[in-house]
Amino acid sequence: MTKDSKFTLIVICGVIFFISFMGMIIYGYKTFAISPLNQKAEEASSHHFALIAEENENDYWRLVKKGADKAAEKNHVNLEYVAPKKADNDEMNRLLDRMIAAKMDGIIVQGIKGARFKNLVHKSVERDIPIVTVDTDAKASERKAYVGTDNIAAGKLLGEALLSNTSGEQYVGIITGRNEAINQQERVQGFRDMVEGHKRIHIIDIRESHITKNGATIASYKLLKQYPKINAFVGMSALDGPGIVEGVKEVAPFKNVYVLAFDTLPETMQLLETGKIDATVAQYPEQMGYDAVEVLIRLQGKDMLDNLIYTKTNIITKEGVQKKLDIQ
Ligand code: BGC
The predicted structure's pLDDT at residue 99: 98
The predicted structure's pLDDT at residue 257: 98
**Higher confidence at residue 18 or residue 299?**
299
Question: d(Cα 151, Cα 145) in Å, to the nearest integer?
Answer: 15
The predicted structure's pLDDT at residue 31: 44
238 CA → ligand 1 middle, Å: 5
122 CA → ligand 1 middle, Å: 25
Share of the chain above pLDDT 70, in %: 85
Q: What is the pTM of this model?
A: 0.86
Nearest CA to ligand 1 atom 2: 237
Share of the chain above pLDDT 90, in %: 82
| Among 222, 181, 195, 199, CA closest to 87 | 181
Question: d(Cα 285, Cα 291) in Å, to the nearest integer?
Answer: 10
pLDDT digits 0-9 by tens, 36-78: 444 444 445 689 999 999 999 999 999 999 999 999 999 999 9
Q: Count other C-beta atoms under 10 Å from residue 113's C-beta.
A: 16
Work out the average pLDDT over 69-91: 98
29 CA → ligand 1 middle, Å: 50
298 CA → ligand 1 middle, Å: 26
DSSP-assigned letters across all residues of 167-236: -S-EEEEEEES-TT-HHHHHHHHHHHHHHTT-TTEEEEEEEE-TTSHHHHHHHHHHHHHH-TT--EEEE-
79 CA → ligand 1 middle, Å: 21
Given the CA of residue 59, which atom of ligand 1 is nearest to it? 12
Our CA angle for 31, 34, 36, nearest 5°, is 135
60 CA → ligand 1 middle, Å: 6
147 CA → ligand 1 middle, Å: 14
Task: Give Cβ neighbours of residue 276 (< 8 Å, ≥ 6 apart).
Answer: 245, 259
Helix (H, G, I), strand (E, B) or coil at 24: helix
Phi, psi angle pair for 277, to nearest 5° = -110, 140
183 CA → ligand 1 middle, Å: 8
Nearest CA to ligand 1 atom 3: 237
DSSP 8-class letter at 34: P
Work out the average pLDDT over 262-278: 97
First to last CA, the chain: 99
> Is residue 9 predicted with pLDDT exceeding 80?
no
Long-range contacts made by residues 218-227, C-beta under 8 angstroms, separation at least 24?
A: 218/243, 218/247, 219/175, 219/243, 219/247, 220/173, 220/175, 220/244, 220/246, 220/247, 220/248, 221/247, 221/250, 221/251, 223/173, 223/175, 223/247, 224/173, 224/248, 224/251, 224/252, 225/251, 227/171, 227/173
| Among 67, 48, 66, 130, CA closest to 291 | 67
The amino acid at 3: K
Pocket test for ligand 1, best of 237, 244, 280, 316 (most atoms within 8 A of CB): 237
Pocket of ligand 1 (CB under 6 A): 54, 58, 60, 135-136, 177, 183, 211, 237-239, 262-263
pLDDT digits 0-9 by tens, 173-189: 999 999 999 999 999 99
The predicted structure's pLDDT at residue 27: 55
Given the CA of residue 55, which atom of ligand 1 is nearest to it? 10
Cα dihedral value 267, 268, 272, 273, nearest 10: -30
Question: d(Cα 72, Cα 260) in Å, to the nearest integer?
Answer: 34
236 CA → ligand 1 middle, Å: 8
pLDDT tier at 34, thresholds 50, 70, 90: very low
Pocket test for ligand 1, best of 135, 136, 310 (most atoms within 8 A of CB): 135
Q: Average per-residue pLDDT in the chain?
A: 91
Pocket test for ligand 1, best of 51, 52, 54, 311 (most atoms within 8 A of CB): 54
The predicted structure's pLDDT at residue 321: 81
